[in-house]
Structure formats: C-alpha cells, structure tokens
Chain A
Amino acid sequence: MVKQVSQVMALSNSGLSDWVVQRATAVILTAYFTWVMAFFLLTPSIDYAVLTGFFASPAMKIAGTLAVLSTVAHAWIGLWTIGTDYLRPAHVGQYATSVRFAYQAGCLLVLFVYLIWAMRLVWQF
C-alpha cells in the first residue's frame, strides 16, 4: 500500500510521539529561558567577562545543548502542524502537497542552520 504523502513527511510517523516530544521540549525550554532571562535581569552589570563566564560553565554548555536540540524539535513539530493545517488544497490549491513539501524543506533548512550556528556558540569556549 502506498503511504499518504502527508504521513511520509511527518516527523516521527507517530502523532503520540510528536505530542510527548512537543511537551517535554516545552518544559525544557521554559526552564532554560527562565534561567537565562533571570541571569540577564538579575545580574547588576553585565560586561564581556561576565557574559562569557556565564555561557562558558559546563552546566550552561550542557543546558545550552539540550535547549538547542529542544528548540529544533519543538519548532519542527510546531511548523509541521501549521503547514498541515493551512497549506492544504482548500487553502492553496491543487499543488498543496508540493507547496507544503517546499515549506517543510525550507523550515528544515533554516533549523539546520540554527542548529550548527547555535551549537558553535554554545561550545566555542
């Protein structure tokens, strides 16, 4: 049997897995950004040494790596959901599958660039 294209282009072929991943990464990202935001808001005066010192600690490298991977997974599931909701024949016409494929490829390309870029930032010290 031929698989439906929309199914082939899904993240994990399992909606339940996507659902869990979306929520687990959401919790990780909430914790990470709360911590980073607290650093920026509560540190009296931030100069270059303070900023690099914050991101150079082993704990922040591990947390940063986790946050980068979580961002990529979380954004992909969210963007995929938006694409399958709005880039359909009823909305964009008969070439919806092609349009959606191009949209998904574009999203993945941007996320790949983010991944490399952010990992380089996290591990540069």
Chain B
Amino acid sequence: MKTDRPVNLNLLAFSFPLAALVSITHRVTGVILFVGVAFALYALDMALASPEGFAVAQSLIAQPLSKFILLGLIAALEFHILAGLKHILMDFHLGDSVAAARYGSMVVIALTVISTAVIGAILW
C-alpha cells in the first residue's frame, strides 16, 4: 500500500453542512458512551450491591458533578440513538436527499435538546 499519497483535504478550510456536524457528533457521542459505560456500571454495581450501597450511590448521584456527568451521558445517549435512527432510515433511502438530510439533522438536534431537558426536569 502506498503511504506517501498526497492528502489534499484541509478540514479546517471547510464549512461543514449540518448533516456532517451531526455525523461527526454521532461518532464523538459514541466514544463518550464507550467511556461512560464505566461510570454507569460503577454506579449500578454500587446501587445493586446492598441497601447501604444504594444509599451511597444515591448521595453520590446527588452531587453537582455527578449530576452533570449523568445528564451529559443521557444527552449523548439521546443524540446517539436519534442520529443512529436517522442513519438507519437513510440506509433505506428515507430522507437522504440534501434538503431532507438537513431537515433530519435539525430534528435530531431538536429532539435531543427536548428529551434531555424533559429527562433532566424529571430527574431533578
């Protein structure tokens, strides 16, 4: 494989369309969730271990930093699921025109914000 082929893509010179930003954010949220699994397993392990552990996990999640991490992970999960569903629809050629992809991206962002706000409001 030739490794000295020229690379002409200067990513900083692009103005990305919304669908591209949603696509890269889908990847970023995927990586965030991969790391976030450790936090979720840690909290769940503690909460399921014993009634005492449950109380500790409950007070831990009540901390502002933990709340921030939890809501961040929920937002990442919401976005990742919604962008993934959009991706599957586009696999079936539903909404894969330029205009529809832009509209779909807006829907993904809007639903992420709304669902995260609703979940955040219910949790606190």
Contacts and interface: CB of A to CB of B under 8 A. Distances in A.
Interface residues of B, number: 28
Contacts of A94: 3
Nearest to A96: B3
B57 to A, nearest CB: 9
A104 B37 CA distance: 18
B88 interface: yes
Contacts, number: 61
Contact of B48 (A55, A82, A96): A55
B10 to A, nearest CB: 12
A33 B77 CA distance: 9
A82 B29 CA distance: 12
A70 interface: no
Contacts of B34: 75, 78-79, 107, 110
B8 to A, nearest CB: 11
Interface string B28-56: 00110110011001001101101100100
B84 interface: yes
If over half of A's interface residues share one DSSP class (helix, strand or loop), that class is named, otherwise mixed; here it is helix
Interface residues of A, number: 31
A94 B2 CA distance: 11
Interface of A: 4, 23, 26-27, 29-30, 33, 37, 40-41, 47-48, 51-52, 55, 71, 75, 78-79, 82, 89-90, 94, 96, 107, 110, 114, 117-118, 121, 124
B48 A124 contact: yes
Contacts of B38: 114
Contact of B37 (A26, A71, A78): A71
Nearest to B88: A23
Interface string B1-43: 1010101000000000000000000010011011001100100
B41 A37 contact: no
A26 B88 contact: yes
Contacts of A75: 30, 33-34, 37
B41 A118 contact: yes
B91 A41 contact: no
A88 B33 CA distance: 24
Contacts of B106: none
12 contacts: A30-B85, A41-B122, A47-B54, A48-B47, A48-B51, A51-B47, A75-B33, A79-B34, A82-B31, A90-B5, A107-B34, A121-B44
